[in-house]
Chain A
Amino acid sequence: MSFFTKDGEVRALDGVDFSIESGRTLGLVGESGCGKSVTALSILRLLPKHSGRIKSGEIWFEGTNLAHVSEAEMRNVRGKRISMIFQDPMTSLNPVVNVGSQITEAMHLHEEISKADANARAVEMLTLAGIPNPGMRLRQFPHELSGGMRQRVMIAMALACSPSLLLADEPTTALDVTVQAQILELLLDIQNRFAMGVLLITHDLGVVAHHTQEVAVMYGGRIVEHASTADLFRSPRHPYTKGLMNSIPVQQKHKSRISAIPGTVPSALNWPSGCRFRTRCPLADAQCAHESPALLPVGPGHAAACFKM
């Protein structure tokens, strides 16, 4: 996956490889700018046409390689079989279209359904998304709802056609902490009910620990570690993963400093040679600068990309 900018080609994603089974949740973790959102948008092929392009790679979904289907076929997948929930519910809903029309839009686009039936299903979805008074909400506009309510509307919208895969791009980042937990619980509940596969993108390891079965850690457009959630938290192998874990504040009897990963994420225009994490890695040496580590198995269902393990 590359972006073409005026400063040259940017390889935003490089060798990102994972799979999600139905009914399971994969967490995709990493700092801002590591390519999490781009990964999700690539799956739906929603990156701006003139700047973003999938140069090579395959996106297999229910037996079809989405990287190679036509735009028309892709439209039949979007919103019907794969849905997406975006980070900011304040800007992701159309401000001048009422909630009902926004939820029923996908139904009308993908199915032959009467207005009354679509509205009835929208009410059902809103109820499922935990919105009180759903019938009344249909006629309301986004600005009349709180942030949490809007994200529930987004969820109802994404579920409108019972998709088999849900891409949730930091669905709670823009919300109050108390609302975050509610929304995540709701997503989990709905996932169990519909047996959906979920890709949960987040930078919050706490969310990963509680809501996913499997985790992929991304750095610099690559997956650096991939494991079951339990494994990852029990024995993180990649120095970046360890750094992330150490930067979580833990309640301790003895006061101690939170250790942060030094430095900042390098620019995608100008990745360091070899291992992309080496500029911030405490273990880096000459080999890291020359060779790029491959994602290799380090245990059953556990892989990491580092020479220093």
Chain B
Amino acid sequence: MILYTLRRLLAVIPVVFLITLILFLLIHLAPGDPITLLMPEDATPEMIEEVRIRWGLDQPIWVQYFNYLSLVVTGDLGMSFKYGDPVVDVIFSRLPATAELAIIAMIIATIIAIPLGMWAGAHPNTAVDYAGGLFGFLGISMPSFWLGIMLILLLSGTLNLLPSSGRDNFGITDAPITGFNVLDGVLRLNGGQVLDALKYLAMPALALGVNMAGMLMRVTRSSIIDVMHEDYIRTARAKGAPERRVLWFHGLKNALIPILTIVGLELGALLSGSVIIETIFAWPGIGSLLISSINARDYPLVIGTILVYTLIFVVINFVIDLLYPFLDPRVRLG
């Protein structure tokens, strides 16, 4: 297990190396000059040239890349052109917002998808199954950005129930404890903050979660249908286990194995979906940060943000792999 963890961690290094290389090349191929965007309009060519030398942008691209890489190795992702702060600090100040959104979206997806999928799968080809199937298809086929806009129109626009943008923290000015507003509210025993944080989270999390729920529901359904035909299900019934226990203990325990795989894959989709959703809801996470840094040609911040996304993706898949042996005793890591 420890050896496996170490090996998986080592495998991350080439991934990071490749991602930085691709990004570095891509972004330098893209049109637009960060210096002209940064400098005031009346800056003289001499001033521009001076800044260009100061930032090292006059060097050949491969020199720039190796300068960058030697810093990345030490955990330094450079300075943001736009904010003037270290990229690492900028990203970390906004990471909790994205993490909180993703986690709540995932919880919503799981709470909807697993019971619905189990219910549909336990009664295949009945009205329940068809209703569940309809939800599944709707969930999969509705793009999250479209759902997000519809939610804003309905819940903020027409009904005026929920805030349409931002991530308020209930006027609390103390330094965040964890950066997760809901969790901070709970830790401060401040019900108002929890409620407020949830109000802001509700729509973006739902827009993200429904899409994932659709896919997850379909997988849960087909997985439980397969499992319920297995011999050990008959054995459980022969022992006199009530149907509820047969389904939710013997059935679910086995059905969870393929479900976990999809959760891992869908989390990746959820991350990329969050870039768009954060932009729509002006959610101050790393997704909207990425878009604004691209618009500002803030190279170090763009690469840094995507690098963090990559790392999150790699870590999630790694954690999912580590979870398999707990669900399936036949799996041995190594």
Contacts and interface: CB of A to CB of B under 8 A. Distances in A.
Interface of A: 44, 46, 75-80, 83-84, 86, 88, 91-98, 105-106, 109-110, 141, 143, 154, 157
Given A46-B234, A88-B231, A143-B330, A94 B239 contact: no
A205 to B, nearest CB: 26
Contacts of B329: 95-96, 98, 141, 143
Given A84-B238, A105-B239, 10 more contacts: A76-B240, A78-B240, A80-B240, A86-B234, A94-B236, A95-B254, A95-B329, A96-B327, A96-B330, A97-B253
Contacts of B330: 95-96, 141, 143
Nearest to B229: A48
Contacts of A95: 232, 254, 328-330
A79 B240 contact: yes
A76 to B, nearest CB: 7
Contact of A94 (B240, B242, B253, B257): B253
Contacts of A97: 250, 253
Contacts of B327: 96
B128 to A, nearest CB: 14
B64 interface: no
A91 B240 contact: no
A299 B198 CA distance: 83
B190 interface: no
B237 interface: yes
Contacts of A46: 234, 237-238
Interface in B166-193: none
A91 B234 CA distance: 10
Contacts, number: 72
Contacts of A84: 238
Interface of B: 230-232, 234-242, 250, 253-254, 257, 327-330
A96 B240 contact: no
A77 B238 CA distance: 9
A105 to B, nearest CB: 6
A85 to B, nearest CB: 9
A77 B239 CA distance: 9
Contacts of A96: 253-254, 257, 327-330
A106 B240 contact: yes
22 contacts: A44-B238, A46-B238, A75-B240, A78-B240, A79-B238, A83-B238, A83-B239, A84-B238, A86-B238, A88-B231, A91-B232, A93-B232, A94-B236, A94-B254, A95-B232, A95-B328, A96-B327, A96-B330, A97-B250, A109-B241, A143-B330, A157-B239
A141 B332 CA distance: 13
Contacts of B239: 78-79, 83, 105-106, 109, 157
Q: Which of B230, B242, B327, B329 has the most CB of A within 10 A?
A: B329
Contacts of B240: 75-80, 106, 109-110
A29 to B, nearest CB: 22
B238 A78 contact: yes
B235 to A, nearest CB: 5
Contact of B250 (A75, A94, A109): A94
Contacts of A83: 238-239
Given A141-B329, A143-B329, A143-B330, A92 B241 contact: no
Nearest to B253: A96
Nearest to B257: A96
Leading 4 A-B pairs by shortest Cβ distance: A79-B240, A79-B239, A78-B240, A91-B231
Nearest to B249: A97
Contacts of A157: 235, 239
A161 to B, nearest CB: 9
